[in-house]
A and B are shown apart, each in its own frame.
Chain A
Amino acid sequence: MTQVNRLPHGGRVDSSKPLRFVFDGRPYEGYQGDTLASALLANGVVLVGRSFKYHRPRGILSAGAEEPNALIQLGQGNRSEPNLRATQIELYEGLVAESQNRWPSLTTDVGAVNSLFHRIFPSGFYYKTFMWPKTFWMKYEHFIRRMAGLGKCPTEPDPDRYDKLHAHADALIVGAGPAGLAAALAAGRAGARVILVDEQQEMGGSLLSDRQAVIDGVSAAQWVANALAELRAMPEVTLLPRTVAFGYYDHNLVSLMERVTDHLPPTSPEALNQPRQRLWRVRAKDVILATGAIERPMVYIDNDRPGCMLASAAQTYVNRYGAAPGKRAVIMTNNDTAYQVALDLVDAGVSVAAIVDARENAEGELVATARARGIEVLGNHAITRVGGKLAVREVEVRRLTGDGKSVSSDGRTITCDMVLSSGGWQPTVHLFSQARGKLKWNQDILAFVPDKLLPGQNNHSVGAARGAFALTDCLVDGFAAGTAAAHAAGHTEPAGSTPVAGAEPAHSPMREMWVMPSGKPLGHDGKHFVDYQNDVTAADVALAHREGYRSVEHLKRYTTMGMATDQGKTSNINALALMADLRGVAIPEVGTTTFRPPYTPVTIGAFAGIDKGDFLDPIRKTPLHSWHEQHGAPFETVGQWHRAWYYPKPGETMHDAVNREVKAVRTSVGIVDASTLGKIDIQGPDAAWFLNMVYTNAWSKLEPGRCRYGLMLGEDGMVMDDGVTSRIAENHFHMTTTTGGAARVMAWLEDWLQCEWTDKKVYLTSVTEQWAVIGISGPMSRKLLSEVAPDLPLDDQSFPHLSFRDGVVAGVKCRIFRITFTGEATYELNMAPSYAMHVWRALMQAGEKYGITPYGTEAMHVLRAEKGFIIVGQETDGTTTPQDLGMDWIVSKQKPDFLGKRSLQRSDTKRPDRKHLIGLLTEDPNEVLPEGAQIVAELKDKPPMEMIGHVTSSYYSPNCGRSIAMALVKNGRNRMGETLYMPYDGKVVKAKVTEPKFYDPEGARING
């Protein structure tokens, strides 16, 4: 049995191209041009899902992006994707789809008992659960998560590629229906750069479902074909079908998501050779919103039974896809548009049992035509019962009484297998609203329409998107907006005349009718669904009202109305109107919801694009990186840099390797790659003045050839960075910064020069990557250097500590700084990066006889900690002053001003009992404290205890033969000798407070 509901004639599907697909394990066949929804309907499948909360059987409601029910798990394995709308999935050969939220099967679903237990899941359940004590949520979480799941997330990484593109346009036109196409023709002909996007596979919008319309003397379908052919030939026009404009941001930036290969079998060569999806960011001078309108379902009892559908959706399935959603329809409406649906259905051979019209006097051209075609029209009637559970079998209708709030006692039953409803049309104002445009209520069409634009945004809503539904209005609007956009951008070539629509039937007024009475109180013997996807009913809105949640934002949060993946595209207005009715106020007084991006869900992959894995963040490597790799070093990430961490020998643990490296530096010589240090070249007659301002110590008297350690403070007096700066010449300095702080320091210095001290002549250049740096450190470093730099005098008089010399090392011109971060005699060799490997190898070769030992960042940290040297960002955290660190010696008392100076005099910063940097020696010398461990002075049996600080650095020191740690502790300098406690991991570690200097406190080793 194949395609039982496929119509013999009509539709835009290609019956010469059958496609096989599988739904819930059963094979079916559809045609090229089908969506999954149209193919399922053609096969007579009306039950496609279970609802979120009550597990109610659900069918297809719509034919587009607004679909709340037909959510599908598409694809298999690592390409499986949940919550896709069947109405927007293009059929391809071999497609595999599954329904969601049911177990074990759609027809027999255990979770449907929720329907019986709905009293424990009333509206407001989530709200109250979240608001009440946490234990309440924890109690229910397991149950809720199991019952309330929708689709399943794949567990394997996404194998597909995604792309990103930036574009500019004179006019970005969203929607390729009559208004959008007319706009594109006008703007394109005038010579403007146009991007026309449409979320569907085929452009044409409503015209693709329209069998009546005539434009410029030809059928709508022919006019669309002509227009697209003309647009395709224009070099400045880009047509993007299968592309949703999902976000509208400041200054006319619109994000698009193009589904490049989603319509192809995912493993076909054509799909694999292209990115799956492409994220566009379009900055447009003008955005023309031709986004059409979304039909509202009517709120009648049990309006969610499979077979209940939007009237226009049925029209689309019949006219565009040649698929009948059923055999016999009852149509429920409060307006004229559903009449054309009825006529089209009858034309296609689908029977229409009756049109149930809520209007008291349903008259007019279309009503008359329907009657003339023999369709029964029941004016002033409502549907009061829908029979059938897994599919509609019949409806009961009764006459409306009492101003439409009640119904007559006697009813009539009509056999049918679908109920098509139309409650009117809401313009698709999502993008306009995202652009922060204000909406206003239009009582004639009972809908919100665009009103005021936010200044700074430039867009124009045209046609149905502004509530002008007639075809002629769409064409006139669109053409005018396209022309205006082109003119504003300076393109004025002749664009011909506005397309002309054929005669259209006049429409009679609507009836305002937000809920259909069933003869029983709301919630009795059935449910009036408002939000299908989140299972919110008219009774829930009434409950929210009774409990005092009456504004739109409260209503949303209380009932979860509009908060599902469809964001209430079919439900928001109905819910607002119900609340307005309950409150006895006009609809705009309840408010409108704020529309937020995305219009429809966007894959995370599209946002990530190629910026994942190795492309997530740039990796900076030193010129010696390959040597470290070859010698087995794992790398530590510091900012974007990858630094060699340690160099394990065969069989060594990290601990073994670090101990060996640390010992080698103290006993012989170590070699380290310090190329990542930030370096800034500072020149200009005011350079020394500038350094006096940005460092705490004095720089004027530093002689050329000498180096000095400096501490940089924020204007709040807190330590921000440190490093050694050297005077190259009178007006020329070489500054070094921490590896991680380089960019921040550069911006900080530039900020002061450009914004505050604009009259000073100081020029900064980042030279971090222009100098490679190799440090050799240890008692044998001087001897080693003398062998590879024989012409360089190295005695303490010629080349003292804290000075630099230019010289030739292993044949390479180097600038050698005698500065130390280990406390040992150290030479930091700076050279052009391309020579770094040569110099490194020469040093390794010459140093072999001394047991030269490459050491990584871990050993470097242990060595500096043994000496009590701080690392900014480890011993400091943005609330640490130089005094807190015990570094008053570096803060000038003489200088009249420097950044941070005044703040050091604030009452809080000069408080004597702030957190001070101290050393900690654990009672057990082998206990290495975890960094970050909290410290208490008064130990109690259990928390809370007063925490007086934390461990900032902690290592095992092979040179001290025990663990060492530094910590920031309240009033720490006045606690020398005290015992403090660190409770963690179910134990308590005791440690004694000491000076934060553990090795060679006199600094005797600096000269080797």
Chain B
Amino acid sequence: MLLIPCPYCGKRDEHEFTYAREGHIARPTNGEQLTDAEWAQYLFMRKNPKGVHYERWMHAKGCRRYFNVARDTVTHEIYAVYEMGQPAPVIERENGR
């Protein structure tokens, strides 16, 4: 059970949050010009990394704000939380992790 630092409320238990999919996937504004394959890339294809994952969470039982989380999918370490619209931070990890 994660302890997630909501940028607006502070550290709260995971059960207060809902997962809101992978982050930093912009909705294409030119959908009509995209091929089915290109559109499917946006619509269906998601990363499944071992290590740092940039994802969105929503503080459903709190402030109800969406925000970004950089989380390690192996250790569940949360390296950063940051507001929507901010760029993904580069996470430097120690050797051996």
Mark A residues whose CB is within 8 Å of B.
249-253, 281, 283, 436, 454-456, 715-716, 747, 750-751, 754-756, 758, 896-897, 901-903, 905-907
Other-chain residue from B60, B66, B77, B97 in contact with A754 (beta carbon distance below 8 A): B66
Known contacts A756-B27, A758-B85, A903-B43; A750/B64 CB under 8 A: yes
Q: Are A902 and B32 in contact (CB under 8 A)?
A: yes
Chain B residues positioned under 8 Å from A436 (CB to CB): 75
Query: Which residues of chain B (1-42) have a CB below 8 Å from chain A?
Result: 1-3, 13-14, 18, 20, 26-29, 31-32, 34, 36, 39-40
Mark B residues whose CB is within 8 Å of A.
1-3, 13-14, 18, 20, 26-29, 31-32, 34, 36, 39-40, 43, 56, 58, 60, 64-66, 72, 75-78, 84-85, 97
Nearest-neighbor residue (CB-CB) of A896 within chain B: B32
Separation in Å of the B8 CB from the closest CB of chain A?
Answer: 12
Other-chain residue from A252, A253, A750, A902 in contact with B31 (beta carbon distance below 8 A): A902
Chain A residues positioned under 8 Å from B29 (CB to CB): 897
Q: Are A456 and B76 in contact (CB under 8 A)?
A: yes
Give CA–CA (A747, B28) in the complex, Å: 21
Q: Are A251 and B43 in contact (CB under 8 A)?
A: no
Q: What are 6 of the A-B contact pairs (CB < 8 Å)?
A: A252-B3, A281-B1, A456-B77, A756-B27, A896-B32, A906-B39
Nearest-neighbor residue (CB-CB) of B4 within chain A: A251
Give CA–CA (A324, B92) in the complex, Å: 61
Q: Are A250 and B84 in contact (CB under 8 A)?
A: no
Chain B residues positioned under 8 Å from A250 (CB to CB): 1-3, 14, 76
Give CA–CA (A716, B36) in the complex, Å: 12
Q: Are B36 and A455 in contact (CB under 8 A)?
A: no
Query: Top 10 A-B pairs ranked by shortest CB distance?
Result: A902-B31, A251-B3, A456-B77, A754-B66, A253-B1, A250-B76, A249-B1, A455-B75, A456-B75, A755-B66
Q: Are A253 and B43 in contact (CB under 8 A)?
A: no
Chain A residues positioned under 8 Å from B31 (CB to CB): 897, 901-902
Other-chain residue from B14, B58, B76 in contact with A747 (beta carbon distance below 8 A): B58
Q: Are A716 and B43 in contact (CB under 8 A)?
A: yes
Nearest-neighbor residue (CB-CB) of A766 within chain B: B64
Chain A residues positioned under 8 Å from B13 (CB to CB): 253, 283
Nearest-neighbor residue (CB-CB) of A436 within chain B: B75
Give CA–CA (A896, B29) in the complex, Å: 10
Nearest-neighbor residue (CB-CB) of A906 within chain B: B36
Give CA–CA (A249, B14) in the complex, Å: 12
Chain A residues positioned under 8 Å from B56 (CB to CB): 755
Q: Are B39 and A253 in contact (CB under 8 A)?
A: no
Chain B residues positioned under 8 Å from A907 (CB to CB): 36
Known contacts A747-B18, A897-B31; A902/B3 CB under 8 A: no
Give CA–CA (A902, B65) in the complex, Å: 28
Q: Are A754 and B43 in contact (CB under 8 A)?
A: no
Q: Are B65 and A754 in contact (CB under 8 A)?
A: yes
Chain A residues positioned under 8 Å from B2 (CB to CB): 250-251
Give CA–CA (A758, B26) in the complex, Å: 12
Q: A250-B76, A755-B84, A902-B32 are in contact. List 10 more A-B contacts (CB 8 A).
A: A250-B3, A455-B97, A456-B78, A715-B43, A716-B43, A750-B66, A756-B26, A758-B85, A902-B28, A903-B39
Chain B residues positioned under 8 Å from A902 (CB to CB): 28, 31-32, 34, 39
Chain A residues positioned under 8 Å from B1 (CB to CB): 249-251, 253, 281
Nearest-neighbor residue (CB-CB) of B85 within chain A: A758
Separation in Å of the A1 CB from the closest CB of chain B?
Answer: 53
Chain A residues positioned under 8 Å from B39 (CB to CB): 902-903, 906
Nearest-neighbor residue (CB-CB) of A902 within chain B: B31
Give CA–CA (A754, B7) in the complex, Å: 14
Give CA–CA (A283, B20) in the complex, Å: 25
Q: Are B43 and A751 in contact (CB under 8 A)?
A: no
Give CA–CA (A902, B56) in the complex, Å: 24
Nearest-neighbor residue (CB-CB) of B26 within chain A: A756
Give CA–CA (A751, B65) in the complex, Å: 9
Chain A residues positioned under 8 Å from B18 (CB to CB): 747
Give CA–CA (A456, B1) in the complex, Å: 12
Give CA–CA (A755, B34) in the complex, Å: 22
Separation in Å of the A279 CB from the closest CB of chain B?
Answer: 13
Chain B residues positioned under 8 Å from A747 (CB to CB): 18, 58, 60
Give CA–CA (A897, B31) in the complex, Å: 8
Q: Are B66 and A251 in contact (CB under 8 A)?
A: no
Give CA–CA (A907, B31) in the complex, Å: 14
Separation in Å of the B77 CB from the closest CB of chain A?
Answer: 4
Separation in Å of the B91 CB from the closest CB of chain A?
Answer: 12
Chain A residues positioned under 8 Å from B27 (CB to CB): 715, 756
Give CA–CA (A902, B36) in the complex, Å: 9
Other-chain residue from A251, A456, A715, A751 in contact with B20 (beta carbon distance below 8 A): A751
Give CA–CA (A251, B15) in the complex, Å: 13
Separation in Å of the B13 CB from the closest CB of chain A?
Answer: 7
Q: Are B76 and A758 in contact (CB under 8 A)?
A: no
Chain B residues positioned under 8 Å from A253 (CB to CB): 1, 3, 13
Give CA–CA (A655, B40) in the complex, Å: 48
Chain B residues positioned under 8 Å from A281 (CB to CB): 1
Separation in Å of the B58 CB from the closest CB of chain A?
Answer: 7
Q: Are A454 and B58 in contact (CB under 8 A)?
A: no
Chain A residues positioned under 8 Å from B36 (CB to CB): 905-907
Chain B residues positioned under 8 Å from A456 (CB to CB): 72, 75-78
Give CA–CA (A254, B34) in the complex, Å: 50
Separation in Å of the A192 CB from the closest CB of chain B?
Answer: 19
Give CA–CA (A901, B34) in the complex, Å: 12
Q: Are A455 and B77 in contact (CB under 8 A)?
A: yes
Separation in Å of the A682 CB from the closest CB of chain B?
Answer: 16
Chain B residues positioned under 8 Å from A901 (CB to CB): 31
Chain B residues positioned under 8 Å from A903 (CB to CB): 39, 43
Give CA–CA (A456, B97) in the complex, Å: 11
Give CA–CA (A901, B14) in the complex, Å: 34
Give CA–CA (A520, B39) in the complex, Å: 71
Separation in Å of the A602 CB from the closest CB of chain B?
Answer: 16
Give CA–CA (A906, B41) in the complex, Å: 13
Separation in Å of the A247 CB from the closest CB of chain B?
Answer: 10
